Amino acid sequence: MAVELEHLIGYSGQHRSCLLWHPAEPTIIYSCGSAVVMQNVEDPHKQEFFRAHDSDITALALSQDGKTLLSGQAASPRRKDGPSEVIAWDLQTRKGIGQFAEMRGGIIAADMSADGRFAAASSEERQLFVWDVQTGEVVVNKRSEQLCSTVKFSSVERAKASRYPEYMLVTTLENQVVITRLTFDLAAMNYRGDSQRAQLPSSGLQRRFLCALTSPPFFLAGTTAGDLLIFNMDTSVFRAAIPVTANGVQAMCGQDGRVVLGGGDGSVKICEGRDAQWEEVKAMGVSGCVSGLALSPDGQEVVCGTTNGRLFRVMLSDMTATVLGHSHCAALTSLVFGTTQQIFASTSRSGEAHVWDLSDYRAVVQTQHPAKKAALAVCLAFDDTELLVGYEDGAIRGYFIEPCLPKQQPEDKNGSLDTPTDTTSSSPSPSWEIPTSHRGAVTALTAAQGQGGKGTMLVSGGEDGYVRVWHPRTREMVGNYSVAKRAVTGLKVDHNKPHVVHACSADKLLVSLDLQKDKKVCQHAVVDGVFTGLAQRKDHEYELITSGVDGRLLFWDEDEADPVAILTPMPDPVKFPNIAGAPTCLSGITSAPKLLCVSVSPSGRYVACGAHDNLLYIYDLQGRELMYTGFGHTGRVVAVAWSPDEKQILTAAEDCSVAVWNCFE
C-alpha cells in the first residue's frame, strides 16, 4: 500500500504575518504548523506543501514578482540554543534556495525586497538581520533594546551614480520607526545599511506597532491603540494618526491609495486617501479577531484570516464575505469517522467539536463548550445523526446534526461521488446533556449493545477510572464499572461480541466488560508503560492492540496473560525518504517514540499509530512490517482514524491541524 499526504486542515490564525496571496496565481499561501501551504482559492483539493522547518512557522513574505518565498519559524525545540531558521524558497522549482540560521528566539516578522534580492527578519531576541539571498551574506546584523515588531521593504530605487540599485527597509520598535537604506559600497564591494529614526511628535504619541505597509513615499503602520499612523519615508517625518478600530489594527494590505485594515474586534475596513488625509469608505465584520489579510492580484478581494481558525473571502466592491476554510484554533484531542467516508468529527482543547465534510474540507457543524472547557472525546452515533462530545468538566453533550450533514449524491460512471451542494456551517445547541457523568474529565466515548441485547447504549470512560453505560434516550446510568485508579484512555466495542466493551487506562490495565452479564470478564496488566490507545484486530482471534508511552504496540489474547506479539515503531529516514527532509528533528533518535493512539484498518490488514515525535506509523500486520512513516504535523499526533473504505487516514495533532492521507493499493 502506498500512502501520501493529501491535505492539511490547520490555519489557526495565531500569527499575524502568515497569510499571503500569490501575485500571479489564484493561490493563497499560509502556515500550518511547520509547513507552508499553497492552496488554490477555487479548489481546496489543490494544495502544495513546503517542508523544512522543525517548529511552527511564525512569519511569511513574498517577493513582488512571486518567484521567491520567505518563511521564518519559532525557536527550535529540538536543537541546542533554539535557533530560528529563515528559509528562502524558489516558487518556480518549489525548492529551498537559502537557509539562514543565525537568529535566536522565534521569528516575529519577515519581508523580502521587491526583486527578491534581500531578505529581512526580526526575532524575539531583539535581533534584526538582512541577508543577500543570492550569496547568503549577512548585510545587516543589529540588536536593539526593544522588539522589532514589523519589517517592511519599500520599492527598489535606481541609484543615480551607481549601477547598483538602492533598497529601503522600514522597521518598527516600541514608539520608534527606523528607516534603513541599503546602498552598495564600491570600496568594499558589498551592500551596507545606514539607519535613522523617523521624527515623531515630542509628546503624547506612545504606540506599539502590530502591522505595516509601504506605499511610496509613505509608510503606514497599525497600532495596538487602533489607529493608523502615516509617515513620509523620504523625509522621515510623521504625518498623521487616524483612529480606525477597536482592539488594535491587527493586519493590513493595500495598494494605490487604498488600504484594507483588520481589527481585533473582527472589523474589516477600507480607507482611502493620501499623505495625512484618509477616510473610511466601507466596513464589515467577521467572527473572531482578524490576524491576516491578503490582497488579490486584481485588487478586487482579500482573504481574511482570524484567530478562531477561519479564512474568509471578502469582495471589496460590496464587502460580502464567504467562508473559504475552517480550522481548530487549539490542540486537537480526538477524531472519529462516521459510517461513511464523507464525514468525520474532531475535538480540541478550546472546547470545539466540529463535523467535517471531506468532499470540500468544510466544517458543516461547529460547536463549542460555553465556558471553553476542553473537549476530549467524540463519537458519531445513531447512523451519524448525533454528535456526542465529552468534556473536561465531566459533561457529555449530544447534538442532533442530521439536518446539517451534506446529502450523499449518486455515484457517476467512474464510481466517484459528485461534490454535494454547498451548505452553510451550522452551530446547533445541545439536544441533551449529562452534566456530571464522571468526577473529572470524560476521556473516552463509544456506543455498544446494551444489557440483554437491547438497543445501543452510550459508554463513557472518565478521568476517575470508571466506565459508565448510559441509556441512549433517557440518559440514565444503567451500568457503572470501576476499571482503574487513573484515567480511562481508550474504549473499544468488541468486533465479535458487540455486548463486550474493552477499556484501557493510564495505570497499565486492560479490562474487558460484558454488558449483558454486567461484569468484568478479562483483565491484563503490564509493569511498565501507560496505555494511551486501544484497537482490535479482525483476525487472529480478535486480538486487542494497545499503544503505550513505552513505544510499543502490544497484542493481547483473552486466553493469555502476557502479550502474544510486540511491535516497536522507529523512524527510519533511509527506508522512508519522505521523512528524511522533514526533521533535523529526527537526527539523534535512539529510543522508540511514545505512542499516543492506534487504529486498525477496516480490512484488518493494517494498523496505524501516532506518536509524540509527530510521525504517523503504519504496519502491515500480515508480515508485521513497518511499511510507512509519514511526517505531517509539528505537534504530537494524538488521534488516528481510517475511513470506512480504507482509502484515507486522518491524523490529529497538538499543532491544531488535521492531516488527510490517501492510501493506494
3-class DSSP state of 578: helix
Distance CA 237, CA 663 (A): 59
pLDDT < 50 regions, the chain:
409-423, 580-581, 583-585, 587
**In terms of Cα–Cα distance, which of 610, 614, 649 is closest to 633?**
614
Question: Residues for the chain: how many in total?
Answer: 665
196 is written with which cell numbers?
535613522
Nearest to 210 by CA among 269, 167, 147: 147
Q: Where are the domains of the chain?
A: 11-217+225-247, 332-434+522-664, 437-521
Omega within 30 of 0 (cis) for the link into 297: no
- For residue 301, the Cα-to-chain-centroid distance in whole angstroms is 24
Contact 545, 537 (CB under 8 A): yes
577: burial class by Cβ within 10 Å (0-12, 13-18, 19+)?
Answer: exposed
Q: Which three cell numbers stand for residue 246?
A: 477597536
Pairing type for strands 2-9 and 237-243 reads unpaired
Cβ(446)–Cβ(425) below 8 Å: no
Report how far residue 592's alpha carbon sits from residue 466's, in angstroms, rounded to the nearest whole number. Answer: 30
How are strands ordered across the β-sheet holding 509-514? 488-493, 500-505, 509-514, 519-525
DSSP string, 270-337: EEEEETTEEEEEEEEE-SS-EEEEEE-TTSSEEEEEETTSEEEEEETTTTEEEEEEE--SS-EEEEEE
* Residue 147 and residue 108 in contact, taking contact as beta carbons nearer than 8 Å: yes
The whole-angstrom separation of Cα 128 and Cα 100 is: 13
List the one residue out of 205, 213, 217 whose CA is nearest residue 176.
Answer: 205
What is the distance between the alpha carbons of residues 503 and 487, in angstroms, rounded to a whole number?
10
297 in the Ramachandran plot: left (φ > 0), alpha (ψ -120 to 50) or beta?
alpha
pLDDT at 420: 30
Q: What is the largest CA-CA distance in the chain?
A: 94
Cell 463519537 belongs to which residue? Answer: 379
What CATH number labels 11-217+225-247?
2.130.10.10
SS3 state at 478: strand
Is domain 332-434+522-664 in CATH 2.130.10.10, yes or no?
Answer: yes
What does the pLDDT look like over 125-181, one tens digit per residue? Answer: 999 999 999 888 999 999 998 999 999 999 888 877 778 899 999 999 988 999 999
CATH level 2 (architecture), domain 437-521: Beta Barrel (2.40)
Three-state helix/strand/coil letters over 366-396: EEECCCCCCEEEEEEECCCCEEEEEECCCCE
Question: Got the DSSP string for 70-86?
Answer: EEEEPPPSSSTT-B--E
Q: Which residues contact 247 (CB under 8 A, 6 or more apart)?
A: 226, 263, 264, 265, 289
Over the stretch 228-271, which tens digit does the pLDDT of each residue have?
999 999 999 999 999 999 899 999 999 889 999 999 999 999 99
- Give CA–CA dist 14/595, Å, rounded: 28
Same fold, 332-434+522-664 and 437-521: no
Q: Which amino acid appears at position 314 of this protein?
A: V
- HSE of 172 in the Cβ direction (CA atoms, 13 Å)? 27
Question: pLDDT value at position 580?
Answer: 40
